[in-house]
Amino acid sequence: MNEPVISVKDEVILVTGAFGLIGKQLCNTFLKEGAKVVLADINETAIDAVEKEYGALFDSADFLVIHLDITNEESAAKAVRQTVGKFGRLDVLINNAAIDAKFDKEGMSKVNHSRFENYPVELLRKSVDVNLTGTVIMTQSACRQMLQQNSGNIINVASTYSIVSPNQNLYDFGQGVENFKPVDYIASKSFIPNFTRYIATFYSNNNIRCNAIVPHGIYNNHNEAFLHNFSKMSPLGRMCNREELDGPFLLLASKASSYMTGSVVMVDGGWTAW
Ligand SMILES: NC(=O)c1ccc[n+]([C@@H]2O[C@H](COP(=O)([O-])OP(=O)(O)OC[C@H]3O[C@@H](n4cnc5c(N)ncnc54)[C@H](O)[C@@H]3O)[C@@H](O)[C@H]2O)c1
């Protein structure tokens, strides 16, 4: 039988921020598709539960659950060592970990909703440390290994807010409270597309590719007001189901995308198209 065009079978894939919404979705999909997956996350207390959860679904020979803090150089180097220790190499790094102060179902409690002029600079520094500096640190560690292998593939997870400004009307939940998507996320994620082009061109002679995916609005039990606003502003008129990310990530993680590097792939329901 012919091999499928898009295959990640036996690819060794390290996913950062693996315990979160998108990370979990991707790790499940890669494992189902026959990849070897390293689930890496800063959330130490969840490690046992994640190990149990995946152990019930997949062969423990095919995955590894580890602690990783992408802002710490030793931790990033250790994650690569652990990956190579178990699977012999690192084929694909998915830079997925990030801080994103989400709006919760009730409205605001997980977000600092100050207007821009009052936004605490400490929170900006924190997001830059994780979303920008942490992504660089993790990529450096992976590239050292990929250079030794003379092959590698890096996928950065961007955001529509890497490309365009948030329409703050999206966060008007009509409760007489002013809500704003804060600047820390926009500043730190805007770096991702050009970083992707930097890495793609820097390593173009080393058989290391680098591309980015731009997701937007992954549905996660959002409140009615948010869903209503979102549907009016989105060309496709709805949020993204998490499994709709599978195809684009599988494409970029597989050799079917061997001529793609430096690409920034929109998976945003057309959000940035108007
Ligand atoms: N959810 C969306 O709608 C959406 C839309 C566009 C882009 N994104 C991007 O997708 C990626 C994943 O988002 P998500 O919604 O799954 O977020 P999430 O908050 O559910 O998961 C993020 C994970 O990253 C981990 N993490 C945080 N800091 C870390 C660190 N220093 N080292 C290692 N791990 C760390 C967290 O513990 C968490 O498990 C992010 O890059 C985000 O910017 C998400």
Q: Strand 12-16 relative to strand 264-267: parallel, antiparallel, unpaired?
A: unpaired
List the domain boundaries for the chain: 12-268
- Beta strand segments in the chain, E: 12-16, 36-41, 63-67, 92-95, 152-157, 208-215, 264-267
Distance 26 CA to ligand 1 centre (A): 12
Residue 110: its pLDDT value, please?
57
Q: Collapsing DSSP states into helix, strand and coil, what is residue 35?
A: coil
H/E element holding 143? helix 135-149
Residue 173: its pLDDT value, please?
85
Which distant-in-sequence residues (6+ apart) come within 8 Å of 60 by Cβ? none
Residue 262: its pLDDT value, please?
99
Distance 96 CA to ligand 1 centre (A): 6
- Cα–Cα nearest to 116, from 187, 58, 213, 41: 187
| Contact present, 30 and 40 (Cβ < 8 Å) | no
Question: CATH number of 12-268: 3.20.20.70, 3.40.50.720, 1.10.30.50, 3.40.190.10?
Answer: 3.40.50.720
Average pLDDT, 10 consecutive residues per value, the chain (274 residues): 89 98 98 98 98 98 98 98 98 97 58 80 95 99 98 98 96 82 96 99 98 98 94 98 98 98 98 98
Nearest-CA residue for ligand 1 atom 20 is: 20
Residues that are catalytic: 171
For ligand 1, what atom is nearest to the CA of residue 160?
Answer: 6
Q: Which backbone phi and psi does 137 adopt, to 5 degrees?
A: -60, -45
Give the predicted TM-score (pTM) of the model: 0.97
